Amino acid sequence: MVHKIKNIIIAIIIYALLGVMGVLLLPYASRSKEKCLRVIRLYCDVVFWILKKFYNIKILVKGHVPDNGASIVCSKHQSFLDVLILLKALPEPKFIMKSELSWIPVLSTYARKIGCFNVKRNDKARSWHALKEAINKEAENQSGQLVIYPEGTRTKPGQEVKYKKGVLVLFSNLKRPLYLVSTNAGVAWSKNGRFKDNATAIINFVEKINYSKKKGLNLDYIKENIERDSLKLYNEEAS
């Protein structure tokens, strides 16, 4: 019971800080994308400090992190924590995010500033339109990492769901490197708001795939590699 109350209090603090820091630092963040990213990373650092201080949760980034060249990052999604780790680790991140988040004050303002795109999950026609818009805008950019969650939602550690084809559409049209990313972040901070003491939340850049007309890429390959490594990270942390 005590641990549950502690979880609720810490979660409230973390989400309250999102609003407080976002509002107070908005005049600075509004000046440029670079300054906006500085504010976002400051928030990430504060959250990581809280998790370390109260739960001894460690953050670890493994593999070959993309440079600031234009690329696509296809990542497993288990928790708000893996979003924060990617925001901190990537040089210039921007997300394909569910449209419901566009209604959240402060968060939506910062998301627009760094170039995020909204997709309506349960409306195929509007989702494809949003992807086409993202492709048209991204085609002009020579930098930045476009993050997409192929599952379309958060999943529990060890859980597998069907991957959506959006990542293949982006890859075939933008013709830029694709990074496959696994995680066990849901062990340290679950989608239900539970924190685990002494956990290590890992983001692993499993593989970089360069675009090639001669070599096709399928969804099964993407899913197999991300899920296999995510399960490995989960089992190592759970043992």
Q: Write down the domain spans for the chain.
A: 2-238
Confidence of residue 122 (pLDDT cuts 50, 70, 90): low
Name the more confident of 160 and 206.
Answer: 206
Summary mean pLDDT of the chain: 90
* 102 pLDDT higher than 90: no
> Rounded to two decimals, what is the model's pTM?
0.92
Res. 126 pLDDT band, cuts 50 70 90: low
Q: How confident is the model at residue 10 (pLDDT cuts 50, 70, 90)?
A: very high
Please give the structure tokens belonging to residue 211.
């675009």
Residue 229 has pLDDT above 90, yes or no: yes
Sequence length of the chain is 239
Angstrom distance (rounded) from CA 128 to CA 143? 23
Helices vs. strands in the chain: H and E counts, helices first: 9, 7
What CATH number is given for 2-238 in this structure? 3.40.1130
- For the chain, the straight-line distance linking the first and the last C-alpha, in angstroms and rounded, comes to 24
Among 126-135, 158-167, 170-179, the minimum mean pLDDT is found in 126-135
pLDDT in tens, 67-101: 989 999 999 999 999 999 999 999 999 998 876 76
Q: Exposure pattern of 136-175 as b/e (b: 16+ CB <10 Å)?
A: eebeeeeebbbbbbbbbebbebeeeeebbebbbbbbeebe
**Residue predicted with more confidence, 108 or 223:** 223
Rounded CA separation 116/161 (Å) = 24
> Given pLDDT bands bounded at 50, 70 and 90, which one contains residue 135?
confident
What's the average model confidence in pLDDT over 177-189? 96
Q: Taking the alpha carbons of 19, 25, 26, 31 in that order, is the dihedral positive or negative? A: negative
Name the band, by pLDDT with cuts 50, 70 and 90, for residue 125: low
Q: Which of 9-13, 132-136, 142-146 has the highest mean pLDDT?
A: 9-13
- The conformation of residue 211, written as its DSSP 8-state character, comes to -
Mean pLDDT computed over 184-190: 95
Q: Is the pLDDT of residue 54 over 90?
A: yes
**Spatial distance between the Cα atoms of 167 and 150, rounded to a whole number of angstroms:** 7
> Which residues, other chains included, contact 148 with Cβ-Cβ below 8 Å and sequence gap of 6+?
72, 73, 74, 75, 95, 96, 166, 167, 170
Beta bridge partners of residue 117, listed in sequence order: 96
Contact 85, 8 (CB under 8 A): no
